[in-house]
Amino acid sequence: MHLVKIKDPQSTKAIAARLETIKEQLKIDHDDEDLLIQRLIKTAAEKVSNIIQKPLINTEYDLVLDCFPTGELTLQVCPLVSIASISYYDVNGVLQTFDSANYELQGHGLDPCIYLVEGASWPSTKSGRNRVIIRLTAGHGDKPEDLPEEIQHAISLLVGHWYENREASNDVDIDDALNALLDVHQRIVL
């Protein structure tokens, strides 16, 4: 099982939306360092996303599997927003779309699973790797304002720290603060 990012909206629009908020927090009233601050916002958002092991802004992915499971399919991608399609290579190697009437999604958000409806079964696939493709969207929303407050604050905290400390510094205090803010949002894989 592996995840392939299809569309990444965490770039320009998300950074531009946060720029004024961050500058206000840092008490910066000039535009001289906007490019630096934008880079710091993008890097901080990526670091936070890596810490919690979740996408921040809604992002489209392909979850690629070698075959269908024998029972329910746990997606291990959260917070899940939607499933656009489930495609697979049939026994003849032809790409097909699995009818959405055959399955239902339970557990939107954390720990989502796809269950077959009564009487349905997973289709047979051609032997080999990467035979099942689930197109899905995961994230906290379309805009930075949709992020939980702790995540927004963690990004702001990192940007402020990096802006004030442009050379190597002791990051123990900032790491402790990040862990305290993000602990509740970290994905735990059992």
pTM higher than 0.85 for the full model? no
* DSSP calls for 35-65: HHHHHHHHHHHHHHHHHHTS-SS-EEEEEEE
Rounded alpha-carbon distances, angstroms, from residue 81 to 7, 84, 90, 149, 183:
14, 10, 27, 19, 22
Q: What tokens were used for 29?
A: 């009233």
Residue 165 confidence (pLDDT): 87
CB 89 within 8 A of CB 133: no
Residue 8 confidence (pLDDT): 67
Q: What tokens were used for 105?
A: 């999604």
Residue 14 confidence (pLDDT): 62
Per-residue pLDDT tens digits for 85-128: 999 999 999 999 999 999 999 876 667 999 999 999 999 999 99
Residue 107 confidence (pLDDT): 76
Residue 111 confidence (pLDDT): 77
Which residue numbers in the chain have pLDDT < 50? 190
CB 139 within 8 A of CB 49: no
The contacts of residue 98 (CB under 8 Å, 6+ apart) are 85, 86, 87, 88, 122, 123
